[in-house]
Amino acid sequence: MARYDAYREEVLGRANVSDTPELVSYYEELAKFETGALWTVANKIEPWQPQSDSVPVLWRYKDLREHVLRSVDLVKPEQAGRRVIYLNNPGRREVSAAVGWLYSGLQVMHPGEVATAHRHSSSALRFIMEGRGAYTIVDGHKMTLGANDFVLTPNGTWHEHGVSEDGTPCIWQDGLDIPLVNALEAGFYAVHPDLHQAVTFPVNDSTASWGGAGLRPYGDSWSKPYSPLFKYEWEPTYEALRRYAATTAGSPYDGVIMNYVNPATGGPVMSTIGASMQMLRPGEKTKAHRHTGSFIYQVAKGKGYSVINGRRFDWEERDIFCVPSWAFHEHANASESEDACLFCFNDLPVMHALRLYWEEALVDNDGHQPIVA
């Protein structure tokens, strides 16, 4: 590999300048004026292909759950703002990212607890893992939440979360584009002046208005840059996948996969974050491909494994794992009788908007990666 790269550097004109005492002192002179010679960094800042600092990680729910629950005894939501245990990618610790420019964490609330309303430049989503009675309020729209429901809190919207008095302890996964917004140096944050917002619409009005398959409220004038449907419930999502599965061969790389969309446009749910739910049929094993963009999966149902850059990760319900940009990945359902479902959120809307999306299949080895670990 090293020889091949050296060959390409000479033949294709990449930077290939050896240090001499004269050059080294020249670089020191340049540094004094906050400058540098491009050829000392060119190969690093313009790689041949995407180089992710993120590594594939599997966060097992059976490891995390007790630690997440313990935080309830240690801090109150009013002290913590949000009582969340966040997921740290070993290659992205300095930006608190779970992968690439995406953040994720597990938030826990007990019955009767409420977290104050705030808004920020980051867009956020939640995927409910366990418990009864959780709710989120987004700009006056209150949504009641159950396991595997998916909720949006688009950037700029006031949002707060809680669990009703008659509920049970609730845990959900948060997903935000905090690292991206910080990288773009565009983040504002504000706490609601009254600490909480009024519920100004009937409860669950968003799903009542926009949740009808293929139907749009007559004469609506929704023009905001995010989905008017803030909650995507599990039951209709699973039903849609089952029906689609009965009539499609599916994707060779993802099985039966459907995107959550903004029903007003057909586009992604928010401007920076997209999401999908996919079903791997009993015994289904997909082929490997890779693409730009960062991906965080939660196992909504079933058990199986994914091979990511040659490493096998065995997962079960509620486990979370990430696929870094340009990492080869393939998925398998370990059951011969039950389907498996993977929820995923990603930065694909950013990749597409900036024309940075690129994709390729693994051609060798019948489309499967040799497993190295």
Q: Which residues bind ligand GTQ (CB under 6 A)?
A: 82, 84, 105, 107, 120, 124, 159, 174, 176
Alpha-carbon dihedral of residues 234, 88, 335, 237, nearest 10 degrees?
10
Measured distance CA(331)–CA(329) in Å, rounded: 7
Least distance in angstroms from the C-beta of 125 to ligand GTQ: 10
**Of 173 and 227, CB closest to ligand GTQ:** 173
**Of 84 and 299, CB closest to ligand GTQ:** 84
Least distance in angstroms from the C-beta of 347 to ligand GTQ: 16
Adjacent-strand bridge partners of 195: none
Least distance in angstroms from the C-beta of 82 to ligand GTQ: 5
Under 8 Å between Cβ of 197 and 190: no
Under 8 Å between Cβ of 302 and 281: no
Measured distance CA(309)–CA(288) in Å, rounded: 9
**Of 176 and 256, CB closest to ligand GTQ:** 176
What does the block give as tokens for 269? 């749910």
Least distance in angstroms from the C-beta of 102 to ligand GTQ: 12
115-150 burial: b if 16+ Cβ within 10 Å, else e: bbbbbbbbbbbbbbbbbbbbbbbbbebbbbbbbbbb
What does the block give as tokens for 21? 């005492």
Count other Cβ atoms within 10 Å, centred on residue 236.
13
**Of 116 and 335, CB closest to ligand GTQ:** 116
Least distance in angstroms from the C-beta of 122 to ligand GTQ: 7
DSSP percent split of the chain into helix, strand, coil, nearest 5: 20, 30, 45
Residue nearest to ligand GTQ (CB): 174
**Of 124 and 323, CB closest to ligand GTQ:** 124
Least distance in angstroms from the C-beta of 161 to ligand GTQ: 6
**Of 121 and 262, CB closest to ligand GTQ:** 121
Least distance in angstroms from the C-beta of 120 to ligand GTQ: 6
**Of 82 and 196, CB closest to ligand GTQ:** 82
Alpha-carbon dihedral of residues 353, 344, 275, 212, nearest 10 degrees?
160
